[in-house]
Amino acid sequence: MFILLLVLLCVPVGYGFVSIDKPSALKYVWLFAAILLLIAAFGLITRLYRPHIASDIATTTYQGRPATEIRYSMVTFAILIALVGCASAMAVLATLDYASADGVGGKPVVVVLCGLASLFMLSFFWLMAVGQLRRGRVVLTQQGIYQRGFTFTSFLPWESFVTVGAAYNGRPEVLAVAYRNAPWEKRQFGRPWRIDRLPPVPMIEIDLIFFALDASLVYHLVRFYVENPVARAELGTEASLERARVGAFS
């Protein structure tokens, strides 16, 4: 509610700048309002109302073999992109405005600072272009569980898992915990944008706020295939999707 009040406050503030003959400030007010709305939307769909999109569980391939994937929410990722886009626009516009302004004390310093901020924000889209930052997914493969976070990859074979549990660390999570000496294939990238990080010990840590799926479904789906080796043969087939649809985990 507080954020919405700030957004409404942007309307008189914006037109106030126009009334004092500073219309160039209006674009910053609207971009700031957009950022506030996006923050509110992100909080709404990750904390209060998490939609259930069944198609986010689908068949795929991993290393040429059939697999079943659980995709991160496209809506959440799109909001994140829009949020960074608005912030990038503010930084770039500020750089251009200060660079072209006359008689501004300390202008070179301000231009440099705004330029550095622009480079930082735009690096987000560069990382997307080169594939280091992307929509995540958890892939249940014939060999094990592969996780592609926003800025990391992680893989653990089935035989390395000890247990699967539900946890709450300020937000709900599914933890597929492995032996400490498990053969863990991992890679962290995405500097300076490390939106998510690898866990400190071998495990697949699934942060459920990034999924448009029922938390209980993700938990039971992962746990079922960890505990039932024979059923893994159906991964990558319609049978695994049907199991998720009807909740056949017993």
Q: What is the pLDDT, as a whole number, of residue 4?
A: 56
- Confidence at residue 18, expressed as pLDDT on a 0 to 100 scale: 45
Beta strand 185-188 pairing with 203-207: unpaired
Could you tell me if residue 62 is inside a domain? Answer: no
Most distant pair of Cα atoms in the chain: their distance = 74
Q: Are residues 232 and 171 in the same domain?
A: yes
Is 107 in the same domain as 157?
no
Give the distance from CA 128 to its chain's centroid. 12
Does residue 189 form part of some domain?
yes
Is 229 inside any structural domain? yes
Each residue's pLDDT tens digit, 50-94: 778 889 999 999 999 999 999 999 999 999 999 999 999 999 998
Do 192 and 157 belong to one domain?
A: yes
Domain contains 112? yes
The 10s digit of each residue's pLDDT in 154-185 is: 999 999 999 999 999 888 999 999 999 999 99
DSSP secondary structure of 88-147: HHHHHHHHHHHHH-SS-TTHHHHHHHHHHHHHHHHHHHHHHHTTSS---EEEE-SSEEEE
Are 210 and 72 in contact by the 8 Å Cβ rule? The answer is yes
| C-alpha–C-alpha distance, residues 68 and 65, integer Å | 10
- The residue segments making up the domain with residue 159 are 137-246
78 and 99 together in one domain: yes
57 part of a folded domain? no
Question: What global pTM score does this model have?
Answer: 0.86
Residue 105 has pLDDT above 70, yes or no: no
CB atoms under 10 Å from CB of 88, counted, come to 20
Residue in 155, 177, 153 with CA at minimum distance from that of residue 166: 177
Mean pLDDT of the chain: 87
pLDDT, residue 97, reads 84
Tokens 């008189």, located at residue: 12
Backbone angles phi, psi at 21, to 5 degrees: 65, 40
Domains in the chain, number: 2
Strand partners, 206: 174
Q: Please, what is the angle between helix 2-19 and helix 26-43, to 10°?
A: 170
